[in-house]
């Protein structure tokens, strides 16, 4: 069973060293020489020559030049080049070249950073590689988790995933329908890696959140790692903004390389953080590939038993709900008693978002909720970074009405411990494995692991990377069964249906076996229900905008302050304004203030069709809702 799951190995981009590809071929996997970024003169041909000489053939090449790809297929096909990987824009624009390469006896896989339904057709019949947002080099907005769901929905065959792949996330991807994964960053510290010694210090302190994302026009993005304090990413952002649509790709490609001391940006993704641990555990490429095959097969088999997220399982029992599902607090959305009642009646745990709500308003709302949900569990969502006086007042009000649970975004363990002392079991958002270790030491017992796919405020790490890191941390640090039984974990970010839940079940199965209670937290999925409108959470136009939405974007006001929203007129206005400020070289603080001013009040316009005028709330018409509203969605 394990060997039906393919392992492809790509060499580091912009390096030209074929050693990892040779090791992959010798271990029985597809090794690919990566030329997606420019290589020094002669290295491409030299790398292919080495692969021909040191393997039995069938190796691959990643390239984006259609003419060069066809020429290389002709020259090297007979010498063992068995596969060429072309980027989707290149392949879609040159179908005749794809056909010619295949006619020469060389297979063509198509790699995409953005789903296109044409990739479920004949052009990608030999396979498609989904390169997620968390990968290195040029990426799109959609993560591996989201791209896989889109590809499966479209009916694509032979799906391989690149980006965010770890020992545990590979099981999730396999459960979701992936036929294999690409290893690249994960291999950087293995004994076959030419970069292991050079990158040891950099990778040794990585969590995945350190990677820099450079956003250009027309949806183009690049990810990599810079030397701390070097300013390379900031300089590239300005250069890309000035270059505009026509020149940005050339400007970005020239900035990537492996000489960090010279100011280059290493084309590494978030999964590079896995490299030291994977090297310590498995040492060689062959052993790592076998471990991923075996572990992913076991994870899928374990999840298939159906008891990880089944009725009454996991957090459902301590929550007193039918399902291990929590409705995520959504500012200016989950702030009505009618919506909360519908969530509770559906078997989930409703969370009232107090956000920056004034105590008097919160008092009135929570009194309504307590009355309508008498006998059913519910909770409150708090902002741990809100002014301390406001949080204290909100908690005092909440205690009057008896919420069963609390969820603190951006909170600290001492805040959760204080609420627990008042009889309110409390969840904390935890954005990194280091913080998880710290929170465990400080007495926290309930955690939310929310990936970048979520709506509203987002952290830097994708669900696959964050979840894999957190599962590994818990398995390493929680060895006492009694301690495990006292822990509850909610996975969030991109979960909305049976497939996405099955992926969580596969990834979280080792935690459930340990005794940790597992569940999922969902927000966006609830926005598509009739009750979201009838219960007063959102106005009809909000839901119509979401139904028409085909893409989400992140709106970043400053480092660590980004929100995910639907691609809309306001989102386009925001992106254009940010590019203008970057091209002008505006400082980080001034940029943050300008962009925060731009977003002020936009969520209320979208969700409630109102805006504040002095002390009053005024209605906003449908046309302005669509044009000016900020539609937060995952």
Q: What is the pLDDT of residue 218?
A: 84
The tens digit of pLDDT for each residue in 560-587 reads 789 999 999 999 999 999 989 988 988 9
Sheet of 552-558, strands arranged across: 456-458, 561-566, 552-558
How many CB atoms are closer than 10 A to CB 149? 22
Q: What is the pLDDT of residue 245?
A: 86
The tens digit of pLDDT for each residue in 119-151 reads 999 999 999 999 999 999 999 999 999 999 999
Q: Are 344 and 372 in contact (CB under 8 A)?
A: no
3-state secondary structure 544-579: HHHHHCCCEEEEEEECCEEEEEECCHHHHHHHHHHH
The tens digit of pLDDT for each residue in 517-558 reads 999 999 999 999 999 999 999 999 999 999 999 899 999 998
pLDDT-based confidence at residue 1 (cuts at 50, 70, 90): very low
Q: Are 357 and 336 in contact (CB under 8 A)?
A: no
First-to-last C-alpha distance (Å) of the chain: 34
Higher pLDDT, 440 or 217: 440
Q: Is 103 exposed, middle or buried (0-12, 13-18, 19+ CB in 10 A)?
A: exposed
Question: Mean pLDDT, the chain, as a whole number?
Answer: 95
HSE-up of residue 161 (Cα within 13 Å, Cβ side): 33
Annotate 559-576 with b (16+ C-beta within 10 A) or e (fewer): eeebbbbbbbebbeebbe
Q: What is the pLDDT of residue 2?
A: 36
pLDDT-based confidence at residue 369 (cuts at 50, 70, 90): very high
Distance CA 412, CA 384 (A): 7
Token digits of residue 543: 């839901």
How many CB atoms are closer than 10 A to CB 356? 11
Q: Does the global pTM surpass 0.85? A: yes
Residue 214: closest CA among 228, 224, 206, 202: 224
Instruction: Mark residue 375 as left, alpha or beta (left: phi above 0; alpha: psi -120 to 50; beta: remaining).
Output: left
Distance CA 28, CA 30 (A): 7
Among 154-163, 281-290, 356-365, 609-618, name the one with the lowest average pLDDT. Answer: 609-618
pLDDT-based confidence at residue 375 (cuts at 50, 70, 90): confident
Residue 213: closest CA among 113, 85, 89: 113
pLDDT at residue 246 is higher than 90: no
Q: What is the pLDDT of residue 384?
A: 93
Specify the pairing of strand 351-353 against strand 379-383.
Answer: parallel
Distance CA 629, CA 123 (A): 39
The tens digit of pLDDT for each residue in 7-33 reads 999 999 999 999 999 999 999 999 999
Q: Which domains does the chain have, with CATH numbers?
A: 2-198+270-302 (3.20.20.70), 212-262 (no CATH), 306-523 (3.20.20.70), 540-628 (no CATH)
Q: What is the pLDDT of residue 308?
A: 94
**Separation in Å, CA 282 to CA 3, 276, 593:** 18, 10, 47
């Amino acid at each position: 069973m394990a060997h039906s799951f393919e392992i492809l190995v790509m060499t580091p981009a912009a390096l030209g060293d074929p050693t990892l590809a040779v090791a992959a071929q010798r271990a029985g996997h597809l090794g690919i020489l990566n030329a997606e970024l420019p290589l020094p003169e002669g290295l491409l041909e030299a790398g292919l020559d080495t692969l021909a000489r040191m393997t039995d053939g069938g190796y691959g090449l990643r390239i984006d030049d259609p003419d060069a790809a066809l020429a290389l297929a002709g020259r090297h096909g007979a010498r063992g080049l068995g596969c060429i990987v072309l980027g989707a824009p290149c392949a879609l624009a040159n179908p005749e070249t794809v056909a010619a390469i295949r006619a020469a006896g060389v297979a063509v896989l198509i790699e995409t950073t953005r789903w296109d339904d044409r990739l479920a057709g004949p052009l990608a019949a030999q396979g498609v590689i989904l390169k997620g947002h968390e990968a290195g080099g040029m990426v799109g907005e959609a993560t591996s988790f989201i791209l896989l769901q889109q590809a499966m929905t479209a009916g694509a065959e032979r799906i391989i995933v690149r980006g965010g792949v770890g020992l545990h996330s590979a099981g999730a991807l396999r459960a979701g329908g992936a036929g294999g994964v690409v290893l690249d960053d994960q291999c950087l510290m293995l004994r076959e890696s030419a970069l292991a010694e050079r990158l040891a210090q950099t990778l040794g302190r990585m969590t995945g959140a350190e990677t820099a994302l450079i956003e250009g026009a027309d949806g183009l993005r690049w990810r990599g790692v810079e030397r701390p304090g070097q300013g390379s990413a900031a300089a590239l952002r300005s250069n890309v903004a000035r270059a505009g649509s026509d020149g940005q790709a050339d400007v970005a490609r020239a900035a990537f390389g492996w000489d960090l001391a010279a100011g280059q940006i290493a084309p590494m993704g978030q999964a590079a953080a896995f490299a030291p641990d994977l090297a310590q555990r498995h040492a060689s490429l062959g052993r790592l590939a076998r471990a991923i095959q075996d572990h992913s097969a076991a994870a899928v088999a374990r999840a298939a038993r159906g008891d990880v997220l089944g009725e009454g399982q996991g957090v459902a029992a301590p929550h007193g709900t039918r399902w291990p599902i929590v409705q995520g607090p959504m500012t200016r959305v989950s702030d009505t008693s009618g919506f909360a009642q519908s969530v509770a009646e559906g078997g989930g745990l409703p969370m009232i978002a107090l956000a920056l709500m004034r105590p008097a308003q919160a008092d009135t709302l929570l009194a309504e909720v307590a009355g309508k949900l008498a006998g059913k569990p519910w909770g409150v969502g708090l902002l741990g970074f809100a002014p301390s006086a406001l949080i204290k007042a909100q908690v005092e009000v909440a205690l009057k009405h008896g919420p069963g649970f609390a969820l603190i975004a951006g909170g600290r363990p001492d805040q959760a411990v204080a609420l627990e002392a008042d009889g309110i079991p409390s969840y904390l958002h935890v954005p990194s494995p280091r913080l998880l270790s710290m929170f465990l030491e400080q007495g926290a017992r309930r955690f939310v692991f929310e990936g970048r796919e979520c709506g509203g405020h987002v952290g830097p790490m994708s669900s696959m990377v964050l979840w894999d890191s957190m599962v590994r941390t818990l398995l390493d640090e929680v060895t006492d069964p009694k301690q495990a039984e006292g822990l509850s974990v909610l996975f969030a970010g991109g979960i909305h249906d049976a497939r996405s839940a099955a992926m969580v079940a596969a990834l979280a199965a080792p935690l459930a076996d340990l005794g940790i209670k597992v569940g999922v937290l969902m927000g966006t999925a609830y926005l598509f229900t009739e009750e979201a409108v009838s219960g007063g959470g959102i106005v009809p136009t909000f839901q119509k905008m979401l139904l028409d939405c085909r893409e989400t974007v992140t709106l970043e006001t400053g480092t660590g302050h980004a929100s995910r929203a639907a691609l809309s007129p306001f989102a386009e206005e925001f992106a254009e304004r940010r590019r203008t400020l970057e091209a002008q070289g505006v400082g980080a603080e001034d940029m943050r203030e300008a962009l925060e001013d731009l977003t002020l009040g936009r969520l209320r316009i979208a969700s409630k069709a109102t805006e504040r005028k002095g002390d009053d709330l005024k209605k906003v018409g449908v046309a302005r809702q669509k044009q000016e509203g900020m539609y937060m969605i995952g």
